[in-house]
């Protein structure tokens, strides 16, 4: 390797076997090596749905962002690339609301539904490959000029949303599933999706927006019963900074996650920024595992209107001003959730890495993706139009 040249390759945890619950196993060690390469703290991407909507996507659908796995996958890939260029080290797949049951309700077969789950991981991996390839070429140019190019390790986190996300009735924000939903109900619901995503090529599984203790317990039992080999993180959600949204004890929920060998990080997402600091301090008392946090913008979600409502939360500037405090308090995986954007992630990366310089977008590549998206939308409209009867109308 020539002087000044840096080899850039995707960092992978997918072959790791997590070790003891104290965070000293193989998966935990590799995660800490990843953090070392990332500069001590890794940046998670921001809101996928937020960016899809910014590009004209209509997400008022029970499948939410997962709808675009079959209607416009190139748009998902474009958003992934936007976040990488903004400084993200971890891409979360578009599988949060992607479920076999949800796809089957739209007429897809079991095999097709499982293929769409795998596709969510493939799109993120393809975005990583494009991004890393471009950085490698840039590194080669820098080395010829005697300039060093810093590494930008990237992990793919396969998202698994809660049962409430599938219901699309707002219960993901309350954990109130009713008495008829038991531990076995939740295990049966999540089992095959977990198996498919764990074998799809992701580096880590992200159990996100966990609203209740019983669902955390279901995940733990499935990890053991299905013999899942890759690391996972558990991310709960809170609306008071003390308990998780169901009212279940934070201590009980975090202890469940802490007891599992596979779990390498515990934390919170889709929670108001104003609660994050106290939640980090609480988690630090319960675990030695890594702490992951990616709050929303501070707005609240109205499940009836299916839209975000402004609140007395923090501004975008205040959100970013908290980042260094969160890191100092113990968080090492930091990003954004709903209503955060590439601009948010870029600001987080700058706050955490003083030598960070955002990647310049590849205009030719983005133009190609935009053309593919436009062509697909036109084809979809033509297919719909041709299927209408002469007395039908199309808007």
Name the residue among 281, 269, 214 with its Cα closest to residue 242.
281
Question: What pLDDT score does 142 carry?
Answer: 53
What is the signed CA dihedral for 319, 324, 328, 333, rounded to 10 degrees? 70
Q: Which residue has the tokens 């949060």?
A: 96
Taking alpha carbons only, the member of 293, 354, 353 closest to residue 326 is 293
β-pair partners for 206 = 159, 233
Helix (H, G, I), strand (E, B) or coil at 330: coil
Local structure of residue 383 (DSSP, 8 states):
H
* Structure confidence at residue 3 (pLDDT): 39
Give me the residues of the chain with pLDDT under 70, please: 1-26, 139-150, 298-318, 355-395
Residue 177 in contact with residue 39, Cβ under 8 Å?
Answer: no
End-to-end CA distance of the chain: 58
pTM listed for this prediction: 0.84
What pLDDT does residue 9 have? 47
Question: Residue 285 burial (CB < 10 Å; 0-12/13-18/19+)?
Answer: exposed
- Can you state the angle between helices 110-144 and 73-86, rounded to 10 degrees? 40
Q: What are phi and psi of 274, to 5 degrees?
A: -70, -15
**What is the pLDDT, as a whole number, of residue 147?**
39
For the stretch 159-214, pLDDT in tens is: 999 999 999 898 999 999 999 999 999 999 999 999 999 999 999 999 999 999 99
């Amino acid at each position: 390797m020539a002087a000044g040249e840096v080899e850039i390759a995707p960092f992978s945890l997918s072959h790791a076997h997590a070790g003891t619950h104290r965070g000293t196993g193989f998966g935990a060690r590799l995660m800490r090596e990843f953090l070392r390469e990332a500069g001590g703290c890794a940046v998670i991407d921001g809101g996928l749905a937020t960016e899809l909507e910014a590009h004209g996507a209509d997400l008022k659908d029970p499948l939410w962002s997962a709808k675009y796995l079959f209607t416009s996958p190139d748009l998902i890939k474009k958003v992934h690339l936007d976040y990488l260029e903004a400084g993200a080290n971890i891409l979360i797949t578009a599988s949060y609301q992607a479920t076999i049951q949800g796809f089957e309700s739209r007429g897809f077969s079991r095999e097709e539904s499982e293929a769409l789950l795998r596709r969510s991981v493939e799109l993120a991996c393809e975005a990583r490959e494009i991004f890393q390839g471009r950085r490698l070429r840039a590194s080669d140019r820098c080395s010829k000029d005697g300039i060093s190019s810093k590494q930008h390790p990237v992990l793919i986190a396969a998202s698994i949303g809660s049962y409430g996300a599938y219901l699309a009735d707002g219960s993901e924000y309350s954990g109130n599933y009713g008495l008829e939903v038991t531990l076995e109900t939740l295990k049966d619901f999540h089992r095959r999706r977990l198996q498919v995503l764990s074998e799809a090529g992701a580096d880590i599984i992200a159990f996100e927006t966990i609203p209740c203790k019983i669902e955390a317990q279901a995940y733990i039992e499935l990890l053991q019963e299905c013999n899942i080999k890759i690391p996972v993180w558990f991310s709960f959600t809170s609306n008071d900074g003390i308990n998780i949204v169901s009212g279940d004890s934070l201590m009980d929920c975090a202890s469940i996650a802490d007891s599992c060998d596979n779990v390498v990080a515990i934390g919170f997402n889709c929670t108001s920024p104003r609660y994050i600091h106290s939640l980090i301090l609480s988690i630090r008392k319960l675990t030695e595992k890594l702490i992951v946090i990616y709050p929303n913008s501070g707005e609240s979600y109205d499940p009836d209107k299916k839209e975000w409502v402004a609140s007395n939360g923090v501004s975008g500037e205040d959100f970013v001003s908290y980042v260094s405090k969160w890191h100092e308090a113990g968080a090492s995986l930091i990003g954004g959730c709903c209503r955060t954007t590439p601009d948010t992630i870029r600001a987080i990366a700058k706050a955490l890495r003083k030598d960070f310089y955002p990647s310049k977008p590849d205009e030719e590549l983005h133009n190609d993706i935009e053309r593919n998206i436009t062509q697909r939308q036109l084809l979809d409209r033509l297919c719909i139009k041709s299927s209408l009867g002469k007395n039908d109308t199309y808007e």
